[in-house]
Structure 1
Amino acid sequence: MLNSIEAQGLGKTFSSRSATVEAVADLSFEVAPGEAVGLIGPNGAGKTTTMRMLATLENPSAGRARVAGHDLRRDPRGVRRSIGLVAQSGGTRPTATARDELVLQARLYRLPAVGQRVRAMVEAFALEEVLDRPTHTLSGGQRRRLDLAIGLIHAPGVIFLDEPTAALDPPSRLDLWEHLRALRRRSGATIVLSTHHLDEAEALCDRILVLDRGRLIAQDSPAGLKQQLGRDLVVVDLGPDAARARAVALGLNGVRTVNVGEGELRIGCENTDALVPELVLALGRAGIAVRGLRSEHPSLDDVFLELTGRPPVGTASVTQPEEMV
């Protein structure tokens, strides 16, 4: 069976009078039919640019790709007919009603039985109560559900979701997650989503691509990425001595990774039971007092910090804002 997405050496460079920015470089990956893949990375990592290239909104500077069986350069219309795109900011008109927007989108795609298709999307995304309200009166969660319904009304085989829950409160995020899970069960569509919420990527995605500075630096299932840090984590509360304690921890057997953050060490290890007493003794010999200690399983936040050296949500660059790249 053909892959839903195949990208080989994909790249994008933005140039201006003052600077040239390589937003995406030598990006190669595949997405199988029905797979849900997450793009994660710091601000400026190239997530949005990657998605915009695959959706034919940006012309690649290098490389090639096929989406839903259509060549990105040779058949962009075929790509656009086969995909659904839900952008970060949506695309509804403030004074139009939800019904107006759904009908318009159905007609733009020349769908038969427009009314029937609109009713199906209203039911799927629980839009009955807001159907005749202007979109500017909708809550954030309602507006995102409408964005999804608009982007999916033509039943695309490949769906791109750019920060689908950005700016939503926690209950609205969880509600939207349930709608996305139901969508996968119902349609079997291939989904590519970008997100800063690592719990979201873990909850919704079969595989995660980690991007940093425009390059793919890791890809695996959420469980596979976490296993890279060892089976367990030991978290040691050390206050101001955390940075000095890092060298001590790195010298112990079974330690795979050590990260310092906010007065604590997060140590990826092979065997928690064997490491803890040895670690406490080694820190004591170095004159470093342990204020607290616990063991836990590694999270995607730990993977992200280890791979990129930065926390999950970074600060956007002046020359390479996330809206562009």
Structure 2
Amino acid sequence: GYAYAVDGDVYYRARKFKHYGQLSGQSIDDLEVGASEHVSADEVNKKADPMDFALWKAAKPGEISWDSPWGAGRPGWHIECSVMSTKYLADTIDIHAGGQDLEFPHHENEIAQSEAATGKKFVNYWMHNGFVTIGKDNEKMSKSLHNFITVHDIIKHVDPQVLRFFMATTQYRRPIQYSEDNLVDAQNNLAHIQTAFNNLEYRKNDATDGDDATVTNQLATFRSSFIEAMDDDINVQNGIAVVYELVKFANRYTEKKTVAKDAIENIQKLLKELLLIFGVKLTTTGQIDDETIKQLIAKRDEARRQKNFALSDQIRDDLKDQGIIIEDTPQGTRYRKE
């Protein structure tokens, strides 16, 4: 069989599973001894092969334990996930996600033990996400390093929509670099999209009835390009690039002398549809809170110091479109609401 018992422990014969290492692209002969889990010297001596991993561990004094055919003990950390998957989902599940650090050994072991037990393919698609990093050295954010910040704390000063946009517009396999600057960039980008949406709303007042065939055709192209990007391993970078192109198209259209009401509504509809895929809702009012305004002003001040006047002007214009007037004074930048 695939498993064997030694002194109340139960181990899995990794070499017997012919596909072991396939997920992570590793050969079992090249794997480091003991890499499959943290093991003691005593445990290595118990194993028939150093690459074997524990399915069941004999109880130690003071540990929680359950009775089993091999005596009191507890499940290994790999088998727990296989049991939950097959109990609550199915023998074969469509999508299994997890951090990149779990690809080996955890997910390799899940596959080996699940397929040995059921005789069926365990997972159709694996999705291994990158880490959230923080600090100038881009350390992995984790509780053990005490370098984490909670969502609850972030949304005390950042609009939850902005946080969602920031997180969702990074491809899942890539690391997400958390920083105040990156959050401000996300605020600015989202404000730019909202401004375009608002400008479309304003033009409804003087729009003519009917549609515009050119707009209809272009929107179909945008939608097709977005779907193609997202079908490519959820390539949100290319997907959001399509959204930005759509925003440029919307801005050019609102600058035309004559616009069609149906065309405007169709552009708005597509913008809302695509942003909703990222979990972000565009609003007709485009209201903006004071904290967001202050952070955008800080971003504008930094752009001016770096002589990036294009970005500075863009932020000023975006805020103006949302009813926020920027005033540069000897005492610093001030703002007021129209």
Structure with higher Rg: it is 2
**What is the TM-score of this pair, normalised by structure 2?**
0.22
**What is the TM-score of this pair, normalised by structure 1?**
0.22
Structure number with higher relative contact order (C-alpha < 8 Å, ≥ 6 residues apart):
1
- Which structure dedicates a bigger proportion of its chain to strand? 1
- Which structure dedicates a bigger proportion of its chain to helix? 2
